[in-house]
Amino acid sequence: MLGSLARWLRILGYDTAYDNRIEDDEIIERCRLEGRVALTRDRRLTQRFRLRGCLLIEREELFEQLREVLEAIGHEIDLNRLLSRCLECNSLLESVDKARIRRQVPAYVCKTQSHFKRCPGCQRIYWGGTHRLNIYQRLKTRL
Ligand SMILES: [Zn+2]
């Protein structure tokens, strides 16, 4: 239910696990083991957690949900963390030499971009670091 929120939390650089097929007990256990806070729209689930460890997301709109999370943890958007994680698998991205990924990206991209990052988890390649500032400024005005 919170797939878009999870994706945006990854864009913001937060370590975000997402699985919409697991049962409540598993969510509680995983949060305990991995030191995670559960985000949920399910009021019943929040009652099963102790006081900490679960945040009920009450708003419908994505950016309002993001604001709810940031307010709850007392954070502002951090430009340095932005786009530091893989959007697919949540791993922290690593800088990679252009020469090493030349064959894995379109020729046009290779010609026009100079900084690349690779996901050590799923090997996906990311570029377009210059968009980071644009995304940051857009988020700043909305959050
Ligand atoms: Zn990945």
CA distance 79 to 60: 25
Residue 88 lies inside a defined structural domain of this protein = no
Q: Is the residue at 80 inside a domain? A: no
Enclosing domain of residue 12: 3-73
Number of domains within the chain = 2
Task: With residue 69 as reference, give the H or E element that holds it.
Answer: helix 62-73
Same domain, 69 and 101: no
**CA 119 to ligand 1 center in whole angstroms:** 5
Taking only the tens place, the pLDDT of each residue in 56-99 is: 999 999 999 999 999 999 999 999 999 999 999 999 999 999 99
Q: If you measure from the C-alpha of residue 62 to the centroid of ligand 1, how many angstroms do you get, rounded to a whole number?
A: 23
10 and 65 fall within a common domain: yes
The neighbouring-strand residues paired with 56 are 40
Distance 37 CA to ligand 1 centre (A): 21
CA of 112 to the centre of ligand 1 (A): 23
Q: Does 87 fall in a domain?
A: no
Average pLDDT, rounded, for the chain: 91
Is residue 56 one of the residues assigned to a domain?
yes
pTM over 0.85: yes
Residues 123 and 67 both lie in one domain? no
